[in-house]
């Protein structure tokens, strides 16, 4: 039996992580720094990790494995086997393709210009259409991940330089992506034209550059944050320094709003805004919109903590850790029987009876997807003696699936897509339930509200406003089984 991540089936009430990417150029410790960066980005993917390094003479070295970064790169001998002054790495959370070693990134290929490795965060929304056309041309796919489409588009491009081939490939794909690539001459970073997925640029103290999904990966290796890679920008880093090309026309930025709510680590700065401060502002706005009589504000850890702090401060109520999270659940070989599934939430969270008994409790969490975990959390708090349980959510209701790199269920399994808020409160067993409004969320982000003509963020999971075409979803041709596994099919 494959080993099972307990938190995968103990907590299905949140959208799950995307992926994390790191690239380092110009350091003798490139692989070690990449591994540290991936460790900081572990929250973005826990299914697998991989690093490819580039040594002198154009020799590439790779190590990949299922599991956590520490499981794969905690051995000094593994790092020693990844020599060179450049490396790139990837944490995987599967949104397309099964978790098999062939799907673990970075992907690598030998071209006429030399070796080429690529790591990708996001989803291509026309991957099936492109893959079908490429297979008809004779391309042989070795994985079931949409990231391999980049490899084949580069391979068949008629352009001469690596950069022009990559631009040619990027102009054919649709979707949300942050991409880091490595070849004999340079480290390359790219974001999709709408900048849905994040990518930041940092500078190492001893010289050299870093590309990463979040600033927390820069912090752990002592790199200085330089700037965000801009939407539609391609940055090229080599021994001559840094240069930038912008092959796409001007487009409106639609950065993923869920990065602020849940995905990014609280100590990261996203698009110039500290995530921790933003989440506290979201909580304060939520308190203004949905005040209720209570004795204590309790976060659902860990993602609900900053919003609960903001809520408590605005409401003038005590903030207490009424639920304690067990951070050492990790892996388990326990077979997920129904009985064990029912215990899953208690293995990950436990009620702090001393702070809950006899209290009217406001529970603050970041989202409700299926409602299953929320129901168990509410029940746990009641069993600990709470007289009332009021649930407050620091995002609007999740009514639509994500097709841009976040693992959410199909729409029919989203609680908010089938029930109004009063029905949802009854289903999860709360005395009351409230979500922050969409305009309230935008106010917390420093805007007057959501401008439908120019939202500035991707909020399709709340609105159904998909800014990037969903070509594969509209394609009615028969699909191979591997592609039926794509997110939200």
Is a pLDDT exceeding 80 seen at residue 92?
Answer: yes
In a domain, 478, yes or no: no
Kindly report, residue by residue over 263-313, the tens digit of the pLDDT: 999 999 999 999 999 999 999 999 999 999 999 999 999 889 999 999 999
The model's pLDDT over 106-137, given as tens digits with 9 standing for 90+, comes to: 999 999 999 999 999 999 999 999 999 999 99
> Is 233 within 8 Å of 190 (Cβ atoms)?
yes
Instruction: Kindly state whether residue 34 falls inside one of the protein's structural domains.
Output: yes
Do residues 228 and 312 share a domain? no
Same domain for 197 and 302: no
How many domains would you assign to the chain?
2
> What's the mean pLDDT in 392-414?
93
285 and 243 in a common domain: no
What residues does 365 pair with on adjacent strands? 393
Look at residue 93 in the predicted model and tell me its pLDDT.
Answer: 79
In the structure, what pLDDT confidence band is assigned to residue 352 with cuts at 50, 70 and 90? very high
For 289, the token pair is 């919109």
Q: Is residue 471 included in any domain, yes or no?
A: no
Answer whether 202's CB lies under 8 Å from 225's CB.
yes
DSSP conformational letter for 407: B
> Which residues sit opposite 391 in a β-bridge?
363, 433
Whether the per-residue pLDDT at 6 is higher than 50: the answer is no
Antiparallel, parallel or unpaired: β 432-435 and 388-393: parallel
Alpha carbons 325 and 391: distance in angstroms, whole number: 18
Residues 19, 256, 402, 461: which is the catalytic one?
A: 19
- Structural domain of residue 323, as residue ranges? 274-458
- Residue pair 464/399 in contact (Cβ under 8 Å)? The answer is yes
The pLDDT-based confidence of 481 (bands split at 50, 70, 90) is very low
For the sheet containing 224-228, what is the strand order?
60-66, 48-54, 86-92, 20-25, 209-212, 200-203, 224-228
Residue 373 resides in a domain: yes
Q: Identify whether the C-beta of residue 382 lies closer than 8 Å to the C-beta of residue 445.
A: no
User: Of 429, 217, 300, which is closest to residue 14 (Cα–Cα)?
Assistant: 300
Determine, yes or no, domain membership for 214: yes
Residues 414 and 310 in one domain: yes
**Residue with the larger pLDDT of the pair 397 and 332:** 397
Same structural domain, 206 and 301: no
What would the mean pLDDT of 201-230 be, rounded to a whole number?
97
Tell me: pLDDT of 339 over 70: no
Does 159 share its domain with 287? no
Torsion angles phi and psi, residue 447, rounded to 5: -115, 165
Distance CA 39, CA 35 (A): 6
**Nearest CA to 228 among 206, 277, 195, 261?**
195
The reported pLDDT for the residue numbered 349 is 86
- Residue 19's CATH number: 3.60.20.10
Asked if pLDDT for residue 100 goes beyond 50, the answer is yes
pLDDT at 341 over 90: no
Which string of DSSP letters, residue by residue, matches 274-318?
EHHHHHHHHHHHHHHHS----SEEEE-TTTTHHHHHHHHHHHT--
pLDDT exceeds cutoff 80 at 340: no
Report the CATH number at residue 298: 3.40.50.2020
What does the pLDDT average to over 444-462?
A: 94
User: How far, rounded to the nearest angstrom, does the alpha carbon of residue 162 sit from its chain's CA centroid?
Assistant: 28
Provide the whole-model pTM. 0.90
145 pLDDT band, cuts 50/70/90, is: confident
Residues 399 and 283 in one domain: yes
pLDDT at site 291: 96
Query: What is the phi/psi pair of residue 95, to 5°?
Result: -110, -20
Q: Give the pLDDT of residue 303.
A: 87
Residue 329 lies in a domain: yes
Location of structure tokens 């009589």 = 293
Asked whether residue 231 falls in the same domain as residue 344, the answer is no
- Active-site annotation holds for 19: yes
- 15-19, 164-168, 307-311: range with lowest mean pLDDT: 15-19
Local confidence band at 15 (pLDDT 50, 70, 90 cut-offs): low
pLDDT more than 90, % of the chain = 81
Domain shared by 103 and 244, yes or no: yes
Domain membership flag for residue 266: no
Q: Does one domain contain both 15 and 164?
A: yes
**Residue 422, pLDDT above cutoff 50:** yes
State the pLDDT confidence band at 202, using cuts at 50, 70 and 90.
very high
pLDDT above 70 as % of the chain: 88
175 and 107 housed in the same domain: yes
Give the pair of three-digit tokens for residue 1. Answer: 């039996």
pLDDT tier for residue 152 given thresholds of 50, 70 and 90:
very high
Q: Are residues 50 and 92 in the same domain?
A: yes
| Residue 112 lies inside a defined structural domain of this protein | yes
Query: Residue 333 pLDDT > 80, yes or no?
Result: no
Residues in Cβ contact with 337 at an 8 Å cutoff, skipping those fewer than 6 apart: none
pLDDT at 338 over 70: no
């Amino acid at each position: 039996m494959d080993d099972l991540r307990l938190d995968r089936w103990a907590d299905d009430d949140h959208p799950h992580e995307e992926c994390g990417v790191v690239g380092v150029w110009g350091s003798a410790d490139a692989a070690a720094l990449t591994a540290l960066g991936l460790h900081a980005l572990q929250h973005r993917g826990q299914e697998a990790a991989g690093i490819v390094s580039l040594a002198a003479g154009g020799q590439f070295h790779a190590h990949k494995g299922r599991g956590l970064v520490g499981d794969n790169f905690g051995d000094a001998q593994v790092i020693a086997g990844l020599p060179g002054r450049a490396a790139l790495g990837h944490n995987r959370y599967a949104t397309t393709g099964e978790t098999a070693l062939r799907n673990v990134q970075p992907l690598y290929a030998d071209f006429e210009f030399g070796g080429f490795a690529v790591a990708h965060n996001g989803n291509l929304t026309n991957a099936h259409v492109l893959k079908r056309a490429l297979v008809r041309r004779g391309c042989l796919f070795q994985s079931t991940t949409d990231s391999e489409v980049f490899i084949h588009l580069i391979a068949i491009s008629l352009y001469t330089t690596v950069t022009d081939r990559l631009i040619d490939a990027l102009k054919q794909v649709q979707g949300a992506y942050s991409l880091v690539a490595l070849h004999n001459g340079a480290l390359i970073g790219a974001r999709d034209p709408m900048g849905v997925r994040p990518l930041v640029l940092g500078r190492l103290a001893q010289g050299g550059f870093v590309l990463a999904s979040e600033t927390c990966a820069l912090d752990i290796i002592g790199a200085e944050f330089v700037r965000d890679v801009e939407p539609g920008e391609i940055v090229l880093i080599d021994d001559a320094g840094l240069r930038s090309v912008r092959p796409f026309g001007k487009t409106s930025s639609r950065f993923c709003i869920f990065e602020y709510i849940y995905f990014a680590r609280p100590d990261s700065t996203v698009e110039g805004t500290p995530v921790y401060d933003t989440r506290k502002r979201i909580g304060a706005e939520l308190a203004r919109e949905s005040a209720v009589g209570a004795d204590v504000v309790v976060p659902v850890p860990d993602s609900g903590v900053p919003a609960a702090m903001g809520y408590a401060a605005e409401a003038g109520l005590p903030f207490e850790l009424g639920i304690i999270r067990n951070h050492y659940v990790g892996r388990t070989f326990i077979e997920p029987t129904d009985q064990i599934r029912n215990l899953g939430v208690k293995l990950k969270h436990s009620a702090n009876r001393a702070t809950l008994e006899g209290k009217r409790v406001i529970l603050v969490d970041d989202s409700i997807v299926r409602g299953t975990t929320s129901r168990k959390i509410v029940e746990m708090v009641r069993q600990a003696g709470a007289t009332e349980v009021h649930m407050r959510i620091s995002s609007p209701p999740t009514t639509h699936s994500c097709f841009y790199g976040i693992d959410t269920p199909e729409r029919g399994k989203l609680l908010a897509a089938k029930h109004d808020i009063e029905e949802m409160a009854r289903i999860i067993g709360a005395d009351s339930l409230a979500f922050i409004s969409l305009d309230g969320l935008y106010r917390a982000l420093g805007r007057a509200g959501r401008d439908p003509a120019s939202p500035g963020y991707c909020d399709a999971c709340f609105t159904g406003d998909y800014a990037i075409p969903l070509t594969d979803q509209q394609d009615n041709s028969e699909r191979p089984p591997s592609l039926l596994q794509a997110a939200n099919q």
